Amino acid sequence: MNLQKSFYEELKSDSLTAVIKCENRIRQEQALQYLSKYFKDSSLTDLPKLFAVNFEYGISFRTPGVFEPKTAILEQLKSSGSLRYFKNETFQSLVGDISIAIRNIYDRQALETSARIEYLNPLLVKHHDYEFWNTITKEIL
C-alpha cells in the first residue's frame, strides 16, 4: 500500500473514531446538564433511576473516551519531508492544521485527566455509597 493510501486510511479511521467520541461527549454534557438541573430543583432523598444513569455518564464516566489518533503515517510524512511531494498547498495547510488539532486534543485530555484525578476522584472515593448505588442501578445495569 502506498503512503498516500495509508495516510487516507489513517485519516478515515480517525474520523470515524472522532465521531463516536463526539457523540459520547454530547451524551456526557447532557447528563451533566440533567444533574445540574436536578440538584437545583429536586429532592436528594428520593432519587429516580434516571439520576443514577446520568450520574454515571456525567461524573463517574471517564472522559468520553480518550481519543488516540493514529499519527504514524502523518509523522512519517512530516519527518521524512515527504509532504513536499503533495503539491496541493491546501492539502499541505490542512496537514499542518490537523497536527495542531491533534496536539490540542492531547492537551485537553491531559487537562481533563488532571482535573479528574485532583478533584473528582477523591470526592467519589470519599463519598460513594455502594449500597445506594447497587439499589439504584439494580434494574438498569
Q: Where is average pLDDT lowest: 48-57, 79-88, 123-132?
A: 123-132
Question: Given a cut of 70, is residue 137 above it in pLDDT?
Answer: no
Question: Given a cut of 70, is residue 141 above it in pLDDT?
Answer: no
Residue 64: the pLDDT is: 59
Residue 60: the pLDDT is: 67
* Angle between the N-to-C axes of helices 72-80 and 3-41, in degrees from 0 to 180, rounded to the nearest 10: 130
What dihedral do alpha carbons 119, 26, 23, 115 form, nearest 10°? Answer: -10
pTM of the model: 0.68
pLDDT in tens, 12-69: 898 888 888 888 888 888 998 998 999 888 887 888 888 878 888 887 666 557 788 8
Nearest-angstrom CA–CA distance, 50 and 56: 10
Tally the domains of the chain: 1
- In terms of residue numbers, what domain contains 13? 3-137
